Amino acid sequence: MDFEAVAKYSALHLKPAGLSLQYGTAGFRTKAGHLDHVMYRMGLLAVLRSRQTKSTIGVMVTASHNPEEDNGVKLVDPLGEMLTSAWEEYATRLANAEEQEIQSILTEICQKEAVKLHQYASVFIGRDTRPSSEKLSQSVIDGVSALGGQYHDYGLVTTPQLHYMVCCQNTQEHYGKATVEGYYQKLSKAFGELTKQASSSGDDQMCLKIDCANGIGALKLKEMERYLPKKLLIHLYNDGTKEKLNHLCGADFVKVHQKPPLGLEIKPHERCCSFDGDADRIVYYYNDTAGHFHLVDGDKIATLISTFIKELLIKIGQTLKMAVVQTAYANGSSTRYLEETMKVSVHCTKTGVKHLHHKAQEFDIGVYFEANGHGTVLFSKAAEEKIRHMAKEEKENQKREAAKMLENTIDLINQTVGDAISDMLVIEAILALKGLTVQQWDAIYTDLPNRQLKVKVADRRVIDTTDAERRAVTPPGLQEKIDELVKKYRVSRAFVRPSGTEDVVRVYSEADTQENADSLAHEVSLAVYHLAGGIGEPPQPVC
């Protein structure tokens, strides 16, 4: 290992004194000015991971739905999945190391992971549209170069596009071509084939307003438009030409504030959606004739997609095992509808896309979406082969056509990670094929009124949970108190979990009315405050 080069470059990317960061589900995220040394070191780590796996590794410079002044970085593993947890720990150690410790940590990683130092290393790099991203991606390049790795800088891409291209590269392009054009071509072709059977009277149903969060999604959709069939009319808003990234717009803003983004006027029953800053989340919404706002979130997206796939599986006569994976935040109505009406198996995991993704891999077909609109569908290799074989060889016309629709659905979905562009095309295709308006889709089931609150505590680690974060194990007496409070309200539930990033405890409640959901959330917040070391003023009732 050329430690001279590592030290020389390292001197150009010094760590600010006293800064400590943690690699989480979303990688590293903080103020952009604090990240130069982190980017350089993640370039170093990506080279070691590439040598260890003998594969191309991705490095994406983005802070997703965070404010424009923030930035972040995440590493992408060989099949487009998130970095494995053992290497997350290496990332944290390397990011927080003092200059004189870098050499010994790199050496230790090489020894523990049997990294061959002369192995060829390849790194794909992408970035979002933040003003800080170009300079920070150059710091990644310095890290890759210091250890003699090769890199391909894709420049401005969505996070899902980088995941996609890493997967393409490491499957010898079996998954697709490792170019942005290859991505556009694969998705557009599948969308065109899938929507061929939609009734021609549905022209007006293929019209969509898209809030691009003033981010990378706008640039990429503009590039992609010429590939898409003319029957899909998309109108882009918050395209980055005027306002700041994620400011009063984007999927996270719409989901949290339950209102349309700034810069997008909605007429009654117009179908609209919002991406987040790096285009890996999507939520839909509309206004009714009375002007009331309706959010169609990740739970409704999972329900629409899984229902569509289940109907096709019945048509082809296949007993492939399909499941929907949710977190504790999924609305109880969605769980009940899937289990009781659709007879679809539902599983709950801890919060965080990584946990959902791993669980979804256990099934022939695993559909997962967080309520915030981040999710995708995974098809096992065996299921995919079976479907593709039927699409080609099945003698019975109806079965063959249904198998072809499933095959096009497979090609339209970005299985590596949640992808706002891919998910949007899947949703638009299903709505067109079923002849559904956004209101009809929304009316599949009615969400239970719910409320999310947070309580400041001295140390969030006093809360420990089990049962996919739905029950508190510590502190003593807290879960018993929650159970007692829940019994006071109809069709209610509540849970608490520690934040992954700050000393707060998150409280979630559901009940038969909004008033009851608010009241339950407040009472649970007080229980957390008194039993889990709350600080500051006690929680106030929800206004």
The DSSP result for 140-188, as a single string, is: HHHHHHHTT-EEEEEEE--HHHHHHHHHHHHTTTSS--SSHHHHHHHHH
- For the chain, where do the domains classified as CATH 3.30.310.50 start and end? 450-532
* For range 156-169, the mean pLDDT: 98
The rounded distance, in Å, linking the Cα atoms of 461 and 533 is: 11
Q: How far apart are CA 91 and CA 44, in angstroms?
A: 10
**475 labelled ligand-binding:** no
pLDDT of residue 501: 67
User: How high is the pLDDT of residue 201?
Assistant: 47
pLDDT at 87 exceeding the cut of 90? yes
**pLDDT surpassing 50 at residue 202:** no
Grade residue 205 by pLDDT with cuts at 50, 70 and 90: low
372 known ligand binder: yes
Judged against a pLDDT cut of 90, whether residue 126 lies above it is answered with yes
> Is 131 flagged in the annotation as binding?
no
Distance CA 467, CA 204 (A): 45
Residue 426 has pLDDT above 50, yes or no: yes
Query: What value does the mean pLDDT take over residues 246-275?
Result: 94
Strand ordering across the sheet containing 365-369: 345-349, 322-327, 365-369, 375-379
Was 371 annotated as part of a binding site? yes
**Cβ atoms of 219 and 156 closer than 8 Å:** yes
36 is in an annotated binding site: no
- Residues with catalytic annotation? 64
Segment of 24-28, 198-202, 239-243, 421-425 carrying the highest mean pLDDT = 421-425
Q: 3-class SS at 404? A: helix
Task: Check residue 403 and give its pLDDT.
Answer: 96
Distance between CA 45 and CA 445 in Å, rounded?
46
Distance (Å, whole) CA 41 – CA 96? 10
pLDDT per residue as tens digits for the range 3-12: 888 888 898 9
Asked whether residue 498 is marked as a ligand-binding residue, the answer is: yes
Bridge partners, residue 236, by sequence: 210
Residue with tokens 């609109």: 373
Per the structure block, which two tokens stand in for 36? 């130069």
pLDDT at 200 over 70: no
Please tell us whether the domain made up of 450-532 is placed in CATH 2.130.10.10. Answer: no
Query: What is the CATH class of 183-296?
Result: alpha beta
CATH number of 299-415+439-443: 3.40.120
Give domain 3-156's CATH number out of 3.40.120.10, 3.40.50.2300, 3.20.20.70, 3.40.50.150.
3.40.120.10
How are strands ordered across the β-sheet holding 122-127?
Answer: 28-31, 70-76, 56-61, 122-127, 150-156
What average pLDDT score do residues 387-411 get? 95
- Under 8 Å CB-to-CB from 162, ≥6 apart: which residues? 58, 60, 76, 124, 126, 154
Strands 56-61 and 28-31: unpaired
pLDDT, tens digit (0-9, with 9 covering 90-100), for 313-360: 999 998 899 999 999 999 999 999 999 999 999 999 999 888 999 999
pTM of the predicted structure, to 2 decimals: 0.93
Judged on CB neighbours under 10 Å (0-12, 13-18, 19+), 110 is: middle
Residue 216 has pLDDT above 90, yes or no: yes
Q: Is 538 annotated as belonging to a binding site?
A: no
C-alpha 278/C-alpha 415 separation (Å) is 17
Is 503 annotated in a binding site? The answer is: no
The average confidence (pLDDT) of the chain is 94
| Model pLDDT for residues 460-491, shown as the tens digit of each residue | 999 999 999 999 999 999 999 999 999 999 99
